[in-house]
Structure 1
Amino acid sequence: MAEHKIRLSSSEIGGLWTVFLQENMAVCLLTYFLHHNQDEQIKKILQRAYEISEGHVQQITRIFTDEGIPIPDGFSEKDLDLSAPRLFYDMYGLSFVYSMSRMSMISTSFITVTMARKDVMEFFVLMVQQTSILYQQATTLMLEKGIYDRPPMIPYPEQVEYVEKKSYVSGFGKKRPVNTAEITEIFFNTERNYFSILLCMGLLQVVKDKEIHDYIQEGKEISEKQIKTFNDILMREELLGNVSVRMEVTDSTVSPFSDRLVVTLFNSLNTIDVTLIGHALSLSMRTDLAVYYEKYILEILLYSAKGFKIMVDRGWMQKPPHAPDRKKLQKI
C-alpha cells in the first residue's frame, strides 16, 4: 500500500519559512566573519556555525520544493562586500555565534513544539540539538579567552523558605532583594543589549542612508536605556553591574552589508527581543521590574513598527504565507 503523503500544516509552513530567512541571513553574516577572522579557534566555531546554517537552508529548500511552495527571497553575495575593510574584530565574531545561537535555541524551541509531521519535527529537533552544542562551544571558548561575564554570585540557600507576606511582590517603597530568576533575566537582558550596542556602533559608522542611520541610532539609544535601568538595579542590590569587557569595533567607514540585510537583521532581533523581555516579565515577581519590562516591550514594538515601515516602503518586506481570503473567493 502506498504511503499517504501528509500535507504541511500552517504552523509547519510558517515555522520553516521563518527559519529559512533567519538561517539564510546567518549564512551571509557568517561568511563575512569567516572572511576576516584571524583567530584559528574562533574560525572553527564560525565554520561550524556556517555549515549548520547552510545545511538548514538546503533542507528547507528541499522540503518547499517537494511541496511546490515558493522559496523565499533570501540574501546572497550581492548583499555582502567582502572587499570592504573589516568592521568588527575577531572576538565580536565569537560573540555573534554565542548570541545568535542562544537566541536561536529559544526561538526554535517555540517553533518545534508546533510541529507534527515526522520529517519536519525531526528537522527542528535536530536544529535545537545543533544550536545547543554550538552555544556550548561558543560559551566554553569565551570562558577560555576571558570574555564571558558570568551572572552575579549569591550565597547558597541554607533551607527551603516560603513567602509569608504579600509585600513579596512590592517593587516600590520597601522591597525585598531580587531573587535568582529575576537576577538571571536582568543579567542576560543587559548582556544582549551590550551585543546590540556594539552592532549599532559599527553600523552607524558605515550606513550612509539617513533614514536607516537614524533608525539604528534610535535602536542604540533604546539598548543604552535598558542597560542603565537594569545595571542600576543590580548596583542598588550590591550585585555590581554587567560590564562589557571589550571594544570590538574598528574605525572602518565602508559598509560590508547591504541596507536590506541590515534592516532585516534589526527586524529579526526586535522580534526575539520582545519574546525574551516577555519571558522576563513572566518570571519577575517584583512590581517595579514588571513595570520596566512592560515599558520596554512597548518601546520595542513602536521601534519595530518604524523598521517595518522602512522595509515596506523599499519593497523589502516579504509576506509570510497566509490563509486565503475566503470572502473574496466566494464573490459571484
Structure 2
Amino acid sequence: MKEHHIPLTAGEIAALWTGYMSDEMSHCVLRHFAATVEDAQIRSVVEYALTLTEEHLAFKRERFDRERFPTPRGFGDGDVNLEAPRLFSDKFMLFYLRQMGITGLSAYGVACGCSPRADVRAFYSHNVHTTLELLNRSTDLLLEKGIFVRAPQFPFPETPEFVENAGWLSGWFGDRRPLNAVEVTHLWLNTLTNALGRSLMLGFAQVASSADIRKYFIRGMEISRKHIDVFSSRLEQDQLPPPMTYDVEVTTSKEPPFSEKLMLFHTISLCGVGLANYGAAIGSSPRRDLAMDYARLASEVGTYADDGAELMIARGWMEKIPSVPEREALVNS
C-alpha cells in the first residue's frame, strides 16, 4: 500500500524554520565557546550542546530537502571567528547554557503541540529529553561549583490560608500585600534573564564596529538595567535580595567573535524570549501593580526588537519567514 504523504502544516513550518535559524546561530556561538572555554567540566557541557545543534540541523536539512522546501541561509563560517579571543568567561558560558536549556524546553513543548505529523512530533519529543539533559548537566555543574543562583526562601505558612478581600489583588500604595511565591519566582527569573542579556549586550557593544549597531547594543544594556532595577526594587520592598549580575564575566577583548548580523539576530531573539516571559508573568501575578509593570516593560522590549529588525532589514540581513501567498497581488498581476 502506497504511503500517503502529508504536507507540513503552518505550525510545523514555523517550528522547523525558526528553529533552524536559532540552531545555526547557536551553532556559531557554541563553536566559539568550545574554542575558548578553559574549564574541562564546562567544556563537556558546551560540547554536548554543540552536538545537539548539529543533530537538529541535520534533521531539518533532511526534512527541507524531502519537502522541497528552501533551506534558510541562516548563519555559517562567515559569522563566527574561531581565532578571536574569548569574549565571555567560562562561568558566563555555563549560565548561558542553562538558559539555553530553559528556553529550549519551552520552545520544543510548543512545537510538539503544533506538530500533528508523527515524524516531526518524534523529533521534538526527542529534543525535549535531550534539552532537559542539557538543563540538568548545566544546573548540576553550577551547583557543584557553588555558583548556582537560588531564588529567595521565606517561612512557610502554618496552615492553609484564604483570601479575605479584593484588596489582595491590588498593590497600589498602602494597600500592597506581600509578594506570593509565584510572583517572587517570576521577578527573580526575569531579573536573572535581564542580567544575562545585559552582559551579552555589553560584550556585543564592545566588539561591534558599526556605530549605529553599537549604539543599539548600548541601548539594550540600558533597557536591561532599567528592568533589573524595577524587578529588584519589587523584591527589596519585601526584604528579598535580588540576584547578582554578570558584567564581570565579560572580558576586555575588542575583537568580534561573531558577525554583526548574528549579534543583531541574537538580540532580537532574546527580545522574543523576554516578551514570552513577561506574558507568562502577567498571567501568573495577581497583584495589579506587577501586571502593569510587566505590560509597560514589554512594550519597551517590543519597540526595541522592532528597531533591531529595521537595522537588519536596512542591511539586507533579515530572512523572510515563510508566509501565505499574497492572493490579491497574484490576482491583480
TM-score > 0.5 by shorter chain: yes
After superposing on structure 2, the runs of 4+ consecutive aligned residues of structure 1 that deviate more than 4 Å are none
Structure-2 residue corresponding to 1:283: 284
- Distance in 2 of aligned mates of 1:299 and 1:127: 32
**How much does 1:331 deviate?**
3.9
**How much does 1:131 deviate?**
0.9
Alignment of 1:81-120 (within 5 A): 81-120=81-120
Structure-2 residue corresponding to 1:32: 32
- Distance in 1 of aligned mates of 2:259 and 2:291: 37
TM-score (norm. length: structure 2): 0.97
Structure-2 residue corresponding to 1:303: 304
Structure-1 residue corresponding to 2:267: 266
Structure-2 residue corresponding to 1:160: 160
> Which one-letter code corresponds to 1:92 in the other structure?
F
- Distance in 2 of aligned mates of 1:80 and 1:9: 33
- Distance in 2 of aligned mates of 1:31 and 1:243: 27
RMSD: 1.2
**How much does 1:245 deviate?**
6.6
Q: Which runs of 5+ in 2 are unaligned?
A: none
Per-residue Cα deviation, 1:73-130 (whole angstroms, up to 9, x for no partner): 1211111112222111211111111112211212222222111000001111111111
User: Is contact 2:45–2:134 with CA below 8 Å preserved after alignment?
Assistant: yes
User: Is contact 1:201–1:249 with CA below 8 Å preserved after alignment?
Assistant: yes
- Distance in 2 of aligned mates of 1:328 and 1:85: 50
- Distance in 2 of aligned mates of 1:196 and 1:243: 13
User: Is contact 1:147–1:245 with CA below 8 Å preserved after alignment?
Assistant: no
Percent of aligned pairs sharing the same letter? 34
Per-residue Cα deviation, 1:112-157 (whole angstroms, up to 9, x for no partner): 2111000001111111111111111101111111221100001123
- Distance in 1 of aligned mates of 2:329 and 2:311: 29
> Which one-letter code corresponds to 1:288 in the other structure?
D
> Which one-letter code corresponds to 1:30 in the other structure?
L
**How much does 1:250 deviate?**
1.1
- Distance in 2 of aligned mates of 1:146 and 1:303: 35
- Distance in 1 of aligned mates of 2:328 and 2:254: 52
- Distance in 2 of aligned mates of 1:137 and 1:108: 18
- Distance in 2 of aligned mates of 1:85 and 1:245: 19
**How much does 1:246 deviate?**
7.2
Q: Which runs of 5+ in 1 are unaligned?
A: none
- Distance in 1 of aligned mates of 2:137 and 2:85: 28
- Distance in 2 of aligned mates of 1:213 and 1:100: 25
> Which one-letter code corresponds to 1:57 in the other structure?
L
Structure-2 residue corresponding to 1:138: 138
Per-residue Cα deviation, 1:1-26 (whole angstroms, up to 9, x for no partner): 11111111111111100100001111
- Distance in 2 of aligned mates of 1:52 and 1:156: 40
- Asked whether 1:253 is paired with 2:254, we answer yes
- Distance in 2 of aligned mates of 1:327 and 1:230: 47
> Which one-letter code corresponds to 2:260 in the other structure?
D
User: Is contact 1:107–1:272 with CA below 8 Å preserved after alignment?
Assistant: no
- Asked whether 1:150 is paired with 2:150, we answer yes
Structure-1 residue corresponding to 2:47: 47
SS in 1 for 2:261: helix
Per-residue Cα deviation, 1:200-221 (whole angstroms, up to 9, x for no partner): 1212211111111111011111
SS in 2 for 1:247: helix
Q: Which one is further off, 248-257 or 322-331?
A: 322-331
- Distance in 1 of aligned mates of 2:112 and 2:299: 27
> Which one-letter code corresponds to 2:219 in the other structure?
E
Structure-2 residue corresponding to 1:294: 295
Q: Which one is further off, 311-320 or 101-110?
A: 101-110
Structure-2 residue corresponding to 1:4: 4
> Which one-letter code corresponds to 1:150 in the other structure?
R
- Distance in 1 of aligned mates of 2:305 and 2:88: 25
TM-score (norm. length: structure 1): 0.97
